[in-house]
Structure 1
């Protein structure tokens, strides 16, 4: 059975994230045991603990954004836990408005949209993901936006997208995933705001 390029990439993403989360969890458990034993304290342990926590959060985020979606539904508690962990100590504050469980495929698109917005908000800000009558909007608000017009045009017209770097791969993947779900993407920008609709 053949696989499309982006489906194959999703399976690879799922596999990598699945294999990485186990050792990250083991390190976290080891740190907890050290803390309970009282054998190690200080800034070194705190630095390791923070780094492992951040790595685990990013892997869980990437697993949803870049992994295979399937038919699974994701509840608000699960999604907000991932977003809270990812934004802890960062420049972006991430807010999840939907209260009802959402399809993993739509959550995946929202996470890819968050990553697109992250590139336009180098100084930080707030990102809100919301859905109304089945139509999603992911809006970034910042005092200073840095929008690359070529990348953003590629979201609604992927054929116009030039080569992307690894840090920009979300701009190439999001339109392909949205097309598979029959969800056209549009964007709008106003002073201090940029929104992705799908």
Structure 2
């Protein structure tokens, strides 16, 4: 009998993203076609277009971060930068993805899960930088008012301490488990104005 585990969760994430991305893309295309056909732009149309674009970008990000990564699958820096630009274009958070080239999909997934952990700390505004040196990854976030839960972050090094996780914090459960399957572990540092994760 199939057991419910992280693989099933990843498959569910992939399925949801796959099924939602087409209709949301259709909404964006419909707005574009209306504009090309001469329909006057309006604040309402602009709002729908912007919302559809952001939803599409978020789903692309979630598909990479939470979806299934096949063995040998690769992901390019250009694709990731485009997704992150679209997700955070109208946000108080700026993201600088520095690594170039293409990456093993599972490793890129780990970096994006770490980025989502960092995003939770700078929700009120800040900067997130993703860097890589000799295949060692670092995600660094800084902001004037960080929002961190020491217990939540402690789960990155000891997942058994995590209890009653909110849906928006699921990346804190997934990251250490994902890294363990890559024979890696997470190190993190919290200060009053910054957070960093390395693996």
With structure 2 as the length reference, what TM-score do the two structures score? 0.95
2:180 maps to 1:169 = no
Matched residue of 1:147: which SS?
Answer: coil
CA displacement at 1:98 relative to structure 2? 0.5
Q: What are the within-5 Å matches in structure 2 for residues 1-198 of structure 1?
A: 2=2, 5-70=5-70, 71-198=72-199
Q: Distance in 1 between matches of 2:164 and 2:174?
A: 12
Q: Distance in 1 between matches of 2:127 and 2:37?
A: 39
Aligned residues: 198
Cα deviations across residues 1-24 of structure 1 (Å, max 9, x unaligned)?
Answer: 845611100001001100101111
CA displacement at 1:190 relative to structure 2? 3.4
Q: Distance in 1 between matches of 2:190 and 2:196?
A: 6
Cα deviations across residues 47-90 of structure 1 (Å, max 9, x unaligned)?
Answer: 00000000000000000011001121111111100010011111
Cα deviations across residues 95-140 of structure 1 (Å, max 9, x unaligned)?
Answer: 1110121111111111111111122113110101111111111110
Matched residue of 1:57: which SS?
Answer: helix
Matched residue of 1:12: which SS?
Answer: helix
* Structure 1 gap ranges (5+): none
Q: Distance in 1 between matches of 2:3 and 2:56?
A: 29
What do you get for the CA RMSD once the two structures are aligned? 1.3
Matched residue of 2:183: which SS?
Answer: coil
CA 1:184 to 1:4, structure 2 compared with 1: closer, same or farther past 3 Å?
A: farther
Q: Distance in 2 between matches of 1:108 and 1:4?
A: 21
Q: Distance in 1 between matches of 2:185 and 2:69?
A: 18
Q: Distance in 1 between matches of 2:113 and 2:26?
A: 28
Return structure 1 stretches of 4+ with deviation > 6 angstroms.
none
Matched residue of 1:156: which SS?
Answer: coil
